[in-house]
Amino acid sequence: MRILMVTNTYAPARNGVAAVVRMLRRELEARGHEVDVLTGRLGGRPRDERVHETPVVRGFAPDFPLPVSLLGVPRSLRGKTFDVVHVHHPVLLGRLGKRIADRCGARTVFTAHSVYTDYLDAYGAGLLRPMKPGVARSAAAFLSGFDLVLAPSSHVRRTMREWGVDARIEMLEAAADVAPLPRGEARRLLGVGPRELVALDVGRLAPEKRHDVVLREFSAARLLVPDARLVIVGDGHERVRLERMARELGVAARVRILGGLDRERLTAWYSAADVLVAGSLSETGPLTVVEAMACGVPAVAYDAPGFEDRVATGDNGVLVEPRDGELAAALAAALGDAEVREKLSAGARRRAGEYVPERVVATLLGYYDELLSSAGESRCRSL
């Protein structure tokens, strides 16, 4: 099978979409399929004849360059044919990807990694909210042109239907692409003391991730669990504000903001942590939760979209109502009771079996095969 992945961001970029596409490519190629990637140019990326780059411009976030497609199909893609074009963003390269699919007669798949209207709540001090209906209509019109839309959670699937997406929608949850380290080894590697209780918060340092809420709740939880320590992993323009906030709350000595980490270092932190903590209310299908579960780390988060499919309170984590103090209480309860932590950790490891790459990719290939079977005679043409 010849597959083109179209994504605005790709390895070595450090974000969820880049990680998902990298994993899909590796696993599909391991099964004998040909996978090309169309993405934006990124400094430090090793030369790869299967990765086709477009120019980029710097956007509102310096760590997230925006690819542009004004020059059309990259020369390195010309002459190629594809059976499936799998698009991962609705704007920028997503539109070019759909045109490529139409031109070469490929079947089309779209993965909705975000609920795009949520960004209009997080940015612009509320001034962008009136744009939400228009954004939803535009996204629905674009997605309706695909043969298959994949949703990483039931929340995203419901939202796509509410927007009016007129296409087949199926679930495909993210895979945990990590190889856990033994806990003691990870702690020695990272310099974590045997008595320290680590709450790990992983995500882009951006307003919608609500790391500031995690900081406030952690400062309250630490009054009950003095050995608690918060480690925040992620890049973004919120870092200076979060560091200042930690000082103002009086917890700077117990908080580390590490920036972005490579996969090996991030896996070590997952393996060393006691709990994963998240403050977001707008996740689609948080990859961090399944990665943490693979390392036996339960999640403490809000009962909000994206988490409800992955976390069951009392089994592999704790979900609380989004009210002041609730996250702090749950965090203190999990960190402060070794028996509770052990029970939740066992549940996390058990649940992680649902999110192994082999299982997720087998499901995806099943969808690809269905689309190609229903297409009848091959329609593929060279670009």
The answer to whether residue 43 scores a pLDDT higher than 90 is no
Supply the pLDDT for residue 64: 67
Mean pLDDT of 352-380: 88
Reference 177, options 21, 49, 365, 380; nearest CA is 21
- Distance, CA of 158 to CA of 167 (rounded, Å): 13
- The mean of the pLDDT values for the chain is 92
DSSP-derived letter for residue 180 is P
Q: Specify whether 33 is located in the same domain as 65.
A: yes
Q: Give percent above pLDDT 90 in the chain.
A: 77
Q: Specify whether 60 is located in the same domain as 207.
A: no
The helix, strand and coil proportions of the chain, stated in percent and rounded to the nearest 5, come to 45, 15, 40
Supply the pLDDT for residue 125: 61
Q: Specify whether 367 is located in the same domain as 348.
A: no
Q: Specify whether 138 is located in the same domain as 259.
A: no
* Vertex 289 angle, CA 288 and 293, to 5°: 115
> Where residue 375 falls among pLDDT bands split at 50, 70, 90?
confident
DSSP-derived letter for residue 55 is -
Q: Which phi and psi angles does 84 have, rounded to 5°?
A: -135, 135
Domain that holds residue 129: 2-175+356-374
- Distance, CA of 5 to CA of 83 (rounded, Å): 11
CATH of the domain at 297: 3.40.50.2000
Q: Specify whether 122 is located in the same domain as 149.
A: yes
**How many Cβ atoms sit within 10 Å of the Cβ of residue 116?**
19
Q: Specify whether 144 is located in the same domain as 15.
A: yes
Tokens describing residue 366 = 């099943």
Q: Specify whether 192 is located in the same domain as 151.
A: no
> Where residue 220 falls among pLDDT bands split at 50, 70, 90?
very high
The string of pLDDT tens digits covering residues 103-129 is 999 999 999 998 878 777 767 667 788
Specify the number of domains making up the chain. 2
Sign of CA dihedral 155, 156, 162, 167: negative
The answer to whether residue 294 scores a pLDDT higher than 60 is yes
Q: Specify whether 149 is located in the same domain as 241.
A: no
Q: Is 247 exposed, middle or buried (0-12, 13-18, 19+ CB in 10 A)?
A: exposed
The answer to whether residue 16 scores a pLDDT higher than 70 is yes
Q: Specify whether 338 is located in the same domain as 368.
A: no
User: Whose structure tokens read 């009086």?
Assistant: 250
Supply the pLDDT for residue 306: 86
Q: Specify whether 127 is located in the same domain as 191.
A: no
The answer to whether residue 377 scores a pLDDT higher than 60 is no
Tell me if 382 is assigned to some domain: no
Supply the pLDDT for residue 119: 75
Q: Specify whether 213 is located in the same domain as 263.
A: yes
**pTM of the predicted structure, to 2 decimals:** 0.87
Supply the pLDDT for residue 72: 80
Of 10-14, 140-144, 188-192, 366-370, where does mean pLDDT reach its minimum?
10-14
Q: Is 167 exposed, middle or buried (0-12, 13-18, 19+ CB in 10 A)?
A: middle
Supply the pLDDT for residue 126: 74
Q: Specify whether 151 is located in the same domain as 289.
A: no
Supply the pLDDT for residue 71: 67
Residue 136 or residue 378, greater confidence: 136
